[in-house]
Amino acid sequence: MLKGNYQNKFFDEPFFLPIFEAAATLDVPVYFHPSFIPQAVTSHYFESNQWSDVVTGILSSAGYGWHMDVGIQVIRMIASGIFDKLPGLKLISGHWGELVPLFLERLDDELTTYTDLQYPFSTYYRHNVYVTPSGILSAPQLQFMLAEMGADHLMYSIDYPYKQPETSGSFLDIADLTDEQRAQIAFGTATTLFKL
Q: Dump pLDDT digits (tens) for 27-37.
A: 999 999 999 99
Q: Dump pLDDT digits (tens) for 18-29.
A: 999 999 999 999
Best CATH choice for the domain 1-131 from the list 3.20.20.140, 3.10.180.10, 3.90.1480.20, 3.40.50.300: 3.20.20.140
Mean pLDDT estimate for the chain: 95
Say if CB 175 and CB 182 are below 8 A apart: yes
**DSSP H/E element including 46:** helix 39-46
Domain limits, the chain:
1-131, 136-196
- Whole-prediction pTM: 0.95
- Those residues with Cβ within 8 angstroms of residue 100's Cβ, 6 or more apart along the chain or in another chain: 71, 74, 75, 93, 125, 129
**DSSP H/E element including 31:** strand 30-33
- Any idea what DSSP says for residue 143? H
